[in-house]
Amino acid sequence: MEITKHSHRHAEAILKNVPEYEPLWNEIEKMLYDISESDLIEHFQQNFEGKEEQTKSLSKTVNSLIYSGLNAKTPRELQGMDDSNVWIAESQIFGESEYGLNEWRLDFARKVKVTDLAVLDKTKQIDAGISIEVAFNNAGSAAWNLIKPVIASELNHVKKNIQTSIGIVIAATEEFKKSGGFDSTVGTFETYSKMLVPMRDLISVPMLIIGLEAPKTFKIVHDRKNGKLYGRVEMI
C-alpha cells in the first residue's frame, strides 16, 4: 500500500534515527508497503464478500493483514513466553487488573530498551516502546485514539503493562475512505492530522500519523440486502 505521513513532535525523525527504534520502524513501513492490492482483494473476497460474515468496508481486511504482517501475538498466545521481541496485539495499557478493560487497550505495542539520554552513559538504558492504533472507527473517537498512546507513554501513578514512548496512528485517507467502502463517519488521516494542532499541548509525546492511500485498481461498492449494505470488490 502507498502511505502518507504527518509527524508530530519529530516522531518520524526519532523513529528513523534512534538506533533502537530504526529496525522497528523499518519493519512497520515495510509491512505496510508489502500489503498489495491483490492481497486486499483476495482477503476481502475469501473472508467477507458473499460470506456469512459480510462487511461493507476494507477495515477488517486491513486490520487482519497488519496483524499477520507484524506477526503479532495476543497476550493469551504469549502466556509463559518472552514478549520482549514481539508485537503484542490487543495489549492492555495498564498492568493492574482493575484497569484491564477494553477501553484501556492498544491495538499493538512493542517493548524496546533505549539509551537514557539524561545521562552520558550509553550502557544505561530505560524501558520504552511503540504504541500503534489502527483507527478505522468513528471520527468522534479520534481524540481518544490519540490520547491512548499518550497515556501508554507518559509516566503516571498506575503501573504500565508496556511502557511506550512514541505513538503511531494508522488511518484511511479521505480517498481510501471513499474507495474502501468505509462509513461516512469514519475519522481519516486528515482528521487526525488537523486535530494535532489544537491538541498539541495534550499530545505530549511524539506521534506519527500514517494515512493509507486509496487502491488504484479496485474499489469497494455496496449492495443492499435485507436493509443492510454489504461490500463487493469492483475492478476499476
Q: In this predicted model, what pLDDT tens digit does every residue of 15-74 receive, in sequence order?
A: 999 999 999 999 999 999 999 999 999 999 999 998 878 899 999 999 999 999 999 999
Cell numbers placing 206 = 511524539
**pLDDT over 80 at 177, yes or no:** yes
Q: Given this model, what pLDDT does residue 121 score?
A: 59
**For the domain 3-235, what is the CATH code?**
3.40.91.20
> Is 94 a residue whose pLDDT tops 90?
no
pLDDT of residue 43: 98
pLDDT at 120 over 60: no
How far is the CA of 90 from the CAs of 82, 108, 134, 186, in angstroms?
17, 6, 11, 21
Task: Give the pLDDT confidence score for residue 52 in this predicted structure.
Answer: 79
User: How many other C-beta atoms can be found within 10 angstroms of the C-beta atom of residue 225?
Assistant: 9
The per-residue pLDDT for 126 is 77
Mean pLDDT of 5-11: 97
Q: Given this model, what pLDDT does residue 145 score?
A: 94
**Pairwise CA distance, residues 110 & 175, whole Å:** 30
Residue 168 gets which letter from DSSP?
E
The string over 33-45, giving b where at least 16 C-beta atoms fall within 10 Å of a residue's C-beta and e elsewhere, is eebeeebbbebbe
- Give how far the C-alpha of residue 129 lies from the chain's centroid of Cα atoms, to the nearest Å: 14
pLDDT at 119: 55
Q: What is the pLDDT of residue 97?
A: 64
Q: pLDDT digits over 131-169, tens only? A: 999 999 999 999 999 999 999 988 777 778 888 999 999
User: What is the model's pLDDT at position 95?
Assistant: 75
Q: Where are the domains of the chain?
A: 3-235
Once rounded to an integer, what is the mean pLDDT over residues 174-201? 96
pLDDT band at 225 (very low <50, low <70, confident <90, very high): confident
At 162 the pLDDT is: 82
Please compute the mean of the pLDDT values over residues 167-185 and round it to a whole number.
Answer: 97
Cell of 56: 461493507
What is the average pLDDT score of the chain?
91
Question: Cell numbers of 204, please?
Answer: 505530549
Please report how many Cα atoms fall inside a 13 Å half-sphere around the Cα of residue 196, on the Cβ side. 22
What is d(CA 133, CA 142) in angstroms, rounded to the nearest whole number?
A: 10
Backbone angles phi, psi at 212, to 5 degrees: -90, 125
* Interval 62-76: pLDDT, tens: 999 999 999 999 988
